[in-house]
């Protein structure tokens, strides 16, 4: 089976297994795990922020950020396809107690005018406006990169309205790779960022939340409250250190593979693949004109040996990652060709 379901499906690299075996460990709840401390220091420096804190998941990093930036009754400004709203079991409302207020976006790229219009005067009738939420790269938008100029415009509006700004950067290194801009420059104008070690970076788990010293101190308390205080978490951090060293520079291969695969698929009549929309490691396929719904298409393709996911009834998602090799591109294209008559 060729697995293009997600960049979360990767197994650790050999170097990660080795690093886990040899990592110096301690109790991270007491801040006494030297490997975790080292990862947090390195990440803070890399992102140009004061501090960082290791989290078990991206979902917990998002939740902790919301709980530090505001409290129950707060309002977050975001767009309706943000991961934090769509795919995190409603934690934004049910756990963090925020009211979401939506602005418009195009494939995940926020519309500043719509954002401005969504902000209401401060008034006791309304929730307490606290956070502008951005996502880079944008998952449900198709791995779309948030351009720094657009981010700047959004942040400017947020500052005029005394809002904190958080970037859900689960795949921020894919964005920095695509833009060829260091992550520190990408996040210099925001308050906090979360990124995932367990997406394209091949770690078995782990995310890191980054911000000021006081933000991370409070996030530590929130993490404990949420049940995310980990003991010898150095085995996770050890993988993270390897990832920063060897997996970040490798991401460009995933992007090249995605583009090459999209170009091949675009040659197949009627499939509706647009390579110009491939910005990082995701290919979205519009199946609205197809004979079958997206989910049924995934079953037909799985029978032939390719695993991909459906985002909704008319969109398929293909994600490249470390364990998908360039030599497999032609095999995937062949499988789509063989399946084509059942699809379109
Ligand atoms: C943009 C984005 N944010 C957050 C998450 C949540 O990460 P986790 O699955 O580690 O909870 C994901 C997961 O796919 C994501 O794509």
Instruction: Write down the pLDDT at residue 89.
Output: 98
Give the structural domain span for 336.
250-343
Distance 170 CA to ligand 1 centre (A): 6
Task: Give the pocket of ligand 1 (CB within 6 Å).
Answer: 57-59, 62, 83, 135, 139, 168, 170, 196, 198, 207
Is residue 3 a part of any domain in this protein? no
Measured distance CA(240)–CA(236) in Å, rounded: 6
What is the number of domains present in the chain?
2
* pLDDT digits 0-9 by tens, 326-344: 999 999 999 999 999 999 9
Is residue 5 a part of any domain in this protein? no
* pLDDT digits 0-9 by tens, 41-96: 999 999 999 999 999 999 999 999 999 999 999 999 999 999 999 999 999 999 99
Percent of the chain with pLDDT over 70: 100
Per-residue pLDDT band at 272 (split at 50, 70, 90): confident
Instruction: Write down the pLDDT at residue 329.
Output: 98
Q: Residue with the nearest Cα to atom 4 of ligand 1?
A: 58
Ligand 1 nearest atom to the CA of residue 198, by list position: 10
Q: Where a domain ends, among 226, 247, 268?
A: 247
Average pLDDT score over the chain? 97
Burial class (CB in 10 A: 0-12, 13-18, 19+), 328: middle
Q: CB–CB of 178/156 below 8 Å?
A: no
| Strand-strand pairing, 306-307 and 282-286 | unpaired
Q: What would the mean pLDDT of 245-258 be, rounded to a whole number?
A: 98
Distance 340 CA to ligand 1 centre (A): 32
Distance 291 CA to ligand 1 centre (A): 31
Residues 145-153: contacts with CB within 8 Å, 24+ apart? 145/174, 145/175, 145/178, 145/179, 145/279, 145/280, 146/108, 146/109, 146/110, 146/175, 147/109, 147/179, 148/179, 148/181, 148/185, 148/186, 150/109, 150/110, 150/112, 151/186, 151/189, 151/190, 152/189, 153/112
Q: Are residues 62 and 162 in the same domain?
A: yes
* pLDDT digits 0-9 by tens, 82-123: 999 999 999 999 999 999 999 999 999 999 999 999 999 999
Q: Are residues 233 and 328 in the same domain?
A: no
Q: Are residues 194 and 281 in the same domain?
A: no
Instruction: Write down the pLDDT at residue 261.
Output: 98
Q: Are residues 227 and 337 in the same domain?
A: no
Q: What would the mean pLDDT of 198-222 be, rounded to a whole number?
A: 98
Q: CB–CB of 1/305 below 8 Å?
A: yes
* pLDDT digits 0-9 by tens, 225-235: 999 999 999 99
Burial class (CB in 10 A: 0-12, 13-18, 19+), 227: exposed
Distance 312 CA to ligand 1 centre (A): 17
Distance 44 CA to ligand 1 centre (A): 20
On the question of a cis peptide bond just before residue 137, with omega within 30 degrees of 0, the verdict is yes
């Amino acid at each position: 089976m060729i697995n293009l379901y997600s960049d979360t499906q990767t197994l650790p690299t050999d170097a990660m297994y080795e690093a886990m075996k040899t990592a110096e460990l301690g109790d991270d709840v007491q801040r006494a795990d030297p490997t975790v401390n080292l990862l947090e220091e390195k990440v803070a420096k890399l992102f140009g922020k004061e501090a960082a804190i290791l989290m078990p998941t991206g979902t917990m990093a998002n939740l902790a950020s919301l709980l530090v930036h505001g409290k129950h009754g707060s309002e977050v400004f975001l767009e309706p396809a943000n991961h934090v709203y769509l795919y995190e079991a409603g934690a934004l409302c049910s756990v963090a107690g925020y009211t979401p207020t939506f602005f418009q976006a195009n494939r995940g790229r926020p519309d500043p005018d719509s954002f401005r219009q969504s902000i209401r005067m401060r008034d006791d009738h309304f929730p307490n406006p606290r956070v502008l939420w951005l996502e880079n790269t944008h998952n449900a938008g198709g791995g779309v990169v948030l351009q720094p100029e657009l981010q700047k415009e959004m942040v400017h509006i947020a500052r005029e309205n005394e809002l904190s700004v958080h970037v859900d950067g689960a795949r921020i290194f894919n964005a920095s790779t695509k833009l060829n801009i260091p992550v520190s420059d990408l996040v210099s104008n925001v308050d906090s960022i979360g990124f995932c070690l367990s997406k394209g970076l091949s770690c078995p788990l782990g995310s890191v939340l980054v911000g000021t010293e006081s933000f991370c101190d409070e996030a530590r308390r929130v993490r404990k409250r949420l049940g995310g205080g980990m003991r010898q978490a150095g085995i996770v951090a050890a993988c993270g250190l390897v990832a920063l060293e060897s997996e970040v520079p490798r991401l460009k291969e995933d992007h090249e593979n995605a583009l090459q695969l999209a170009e091949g698929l675009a040659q197949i009549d009627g499939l509706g693949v647009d390579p110009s929309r491939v910005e990082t490691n995701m290919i979205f396929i519009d199946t609205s004109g197809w004979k079958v719904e997206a989910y049924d298409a995934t079953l037909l393709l799985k029978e032939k040996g390719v695993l991909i996911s459906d985002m909704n009834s008319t969109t398929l998602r293909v994600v490249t990652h470390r364990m998908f090799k360039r030599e497999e591109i032609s095999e995937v294209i062949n499988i789509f060709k063989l399946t084509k008559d059942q699809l379109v």
